[in-house]
Amino acid sequence: LSDLKAESKKTAVKQKKRVEIELDELGDWRRTHYSSNLTPELDGQGCVVFGWIASIRHQGNITFLVIMDKDGLIQVTAKKDEVGEELYEKIQRLTPHTSIGVKGVLKAIPKAPNGVEVRPKEIKVLGYASVTPPIQLYARKLPSLDKRLEIRAVDLRRPAAQAIFKIRQEALKAIRAHLLKNGYQEVHTPKIISSATEGGAALFPLLYYDKEAFLTQSPQLYKEQLVMAFEKVFEIGPAFRAEQSRTLEHLSEFISVDVEEAYVDYRDVMNRLEAIVREVVEVVKSRCAKELATLQYEPTLPDTFKRFTYDEVLEILAEHGCKVEWGEDLSSAALAKLAELNPSYYFIIDWPTQCKPFYISQKKDDPKLSESFDLIFGSLEIASGGTRVSSRRVLEKRLKEKGLNPKSFAYHLKVFDYGMPPHAGFGLGFERFLMTLTGQKNIREVTYFPRDQRHLTP
Ligand code: ATP
Ligand code: MG
């Protein structure tokens, strides 16, 4: 019986699915205009446009299609007496999300997007949407993120998602431009590695021929090595962490913006990081005004990024009735309290050495403290950095203190015998930074295909 029920359910679903309509070939049709190229001055010109159908509205003997291409919206208006029986009939069978090509004539219409619409002469159905997704394009109330992630490619067609990923693109461009302009070399380091660099989050093991290897948590050791030859380097690439808890700000795979520089210390790279954040916020505000309006969000930028020492932070927290043991990381309650006082970007510097990884330099006058910093936005850590240990002897000692085996790092320690310069750097979580630029509370919203404990597909 249950088999029968399942079977009848299946047919019910099938029946709901629309009858496919025959697809046209792309053939020699090529786009003449993106939506962003359309202006009323083009009135009377011929065009070929492509996109997917964002909405269909019938009004008597007129059908209004709005199609969306990568840049925006195009209105297509089909009047029955103008387009003829056959084309009008074809248009009636179009469904939302179907990808089409439209060959026609442009007509200036003040009310249309970009002040111009297309009067179709021919339409090609190039990708037929046989089901309607459960995602309304402009709705405030959306299906759960999990549901949307199941058909993420379609979910990303929503204008709000388009806005987020346009900002992602502009932010990425601005970071890269800033670093290149300031003489940093873009590098690529291996993502398959032999040993851990960051404590805490676990590594993902994998089989590398007949050996055990891991996916990298951070390009830390390799970017340090590269300053020997290139002095100023950066990498924008994936980092993998087997995070054990499911939170709104942790992914198993994220994009890390890593910077490392020779002959400077942590204060210099903090200034660099602040300059990057400032420039990116300005760029996003000026180039993505439309997208920020769609998201109803305005990124903030304080006049100065305050720099609190860890000890000062503990005092401030104590004054507000929040006790943190010296040497502990800041709890989420402590960070929430700090966010009330500092809702935007600020640094916490000079962390206890015990809070930081083995490669972070201790302070000369007080080895309990380190030359380190975190950049925080409200309660969200977005970057960590510091002056690095550049002496082999000290690095070996620090490895042992952290319970790590210097033998596993022999390949790394070796190069320190060849004149490793003093250096400093940081790692910025790109998606976390994007959360601050787009006002998103869940890191998955700013990630194309998020990876976490529960999501390995799509
Ligand atoms: P957290 O304490 O928030 O787990 P962390 O201190 O372990 O972060 P770092 O090793 O300092 O992280 O990594 C540098 C930056 O990379 C962090 O400041 C953060 O912006 C980002 N980052 C770290 N882990 C993740 C993750 N699982 N998902 C997304 N971004 C991350
Ligand atoms: Mg950190």
Q: Is 383 in the pocket of ligand 1 (CB under 6 A)?
A: yes
What distance in Å separates the CA atoms of residue 435 and residue 171, rounded to the nearest whole number? 12
Q: Which residue has a Cα nearest atom 24 of ligand 1?
A: 250
Report the SS3 class of residue 41: helix
Q: Is the CB of 254 under 6 A from ligand 1?
A: yes
Q: What is the pLDDT of residue 8?
A: 42
Q: What is the DSSP letter of 9?
A: H
Could you tell me the distance, in angstroms and rounded to a whole number, from the CA of residue 242 to the centre of ligand 1?
12
Backbone CA torsion sign across 265, 266, 271, 273: positive
Residue 148 and residue 156 in contact, taking contact as beta carbons nearer than 8 Å: no
H helical segments located in 61-110: 80-83, 85-92
Beta-carbon contacts of 303 under 8 Å, excluding residues fewer than 6 positions away, are none
In short, whether 251's Cβ falls inside 6 Å of ligand 1 is: yes
**115 close to 108: Cβ distance less than 8 angstroms:** yes
Which ligand is in closest contact with the Cα of 218?
A: 1
The pLDDT value given to residue 216:
95
User: Residue 375: nearest ligand to its CA?
Assistant: 1
pLDDT of residue 197: 64
Per-residue pLDDT of the chain (458 residues; tens, 9 = 90+): 444 444 444 444 444 556 678 999 999 999 999 999 999 999 999 999 999 999 999 999 999 999 999 999 999 999 999 999 999 999 999 999 999 999 999 999 999 999 999 999 999 999 999 998 988 888 888 999 999 999 999 999 999 999 999 999 999 999 999 999 999 999 999 999 987 666 556 899 999 999 999 999 999 999 999 999 999 999 999 999 999 889 999 999 999 999 999 999 999 999 999 999 999 999 999 999 999 999 999 999 999 999 999 999 999 999 999 999 999 999 999 999 999 999 999 999 999 999 999 999 999 999 999 999 999 999 999 999 999 999 999 999 999 999 888 998 999 999 999 999 999 999 999 999 999 999 999 999 999 999 999 999 99
Pocket probe mutation, ligand 1, options 432, 448, 452, max atoms within 8 Å of Cβ:
432
Element (H, E) at 170: helix 159-181
pLDDT given for residue 386 in this prediction: 98
Pocket of ligand 1 contains residue 356 by CB under 6 Å: no
Closest approach atom of ligand 1 to CA 426: 14
Pocket test for ligand 1, best of 234, 246, 250 (most atoms within 8 A of CB): 250
5: amino acid identity, one letter: K
- DSSP-based three-state secondary structure for 197: coil
Quickly count: other Cβ atoms within 10 Å of residue 442's Cβ.
13
CA of 92 to the centre of ligand 1 (A): 51
238 beta partners: 255
- Reduced to 3 states (helix: H, G, I; strand: E, B; else coil), residue 446 is helix
Residue 138's pLDDT is what?
84
> Ligand 1 within 6 A of 429 CB?
yes
Atom of ligand 1 minimally distant from the CA of 256: 16
Instruction: Establish whether residue 42 lines the binding site of ligand 1, counting it when its CB lies within 6 angstroms of any ligand atom.
Output: no
Pocket test for ligand 1, best of 197, 203, 254, 273 (most atoms within 8 A of CB): 254
CB 350 within 8 A of CB 369: yes
Distance (Å) from CA 294 to ligand 1 centroid:
28
Q: Cα(69)–Cα(314) distance, rounded to whole angstroms?
A: 52
* Residue 190 tokens, joined: 């291996």
Q: Chain-centre distance of CA 122, in angstroms?
A: 39
Q: How far apart are CA 381 and CA 254, in angstroms?
A: 14
pTM score of the predicted model: 0.93
Tokens of 417: 């015998």
Measured by CA distance, the residue closest to atom 19 of ligand 1 is: 429
> If you ran DSSP here, which 8-state letter would residue 329 be given?
P
72 CA → ligand 2 middle, Å: 38
Q: Which long-range contacts (CB under 8 A, 24 or more apart) does 198-207 make?
A: 198/241, 198/357, 199/357, 199/402, 201/241, 201/242, 201/243, 201/244, 202/241, 202/242, 202/244, 203/240, 203/241, 203/242, 204/240, 204/242, 204/252
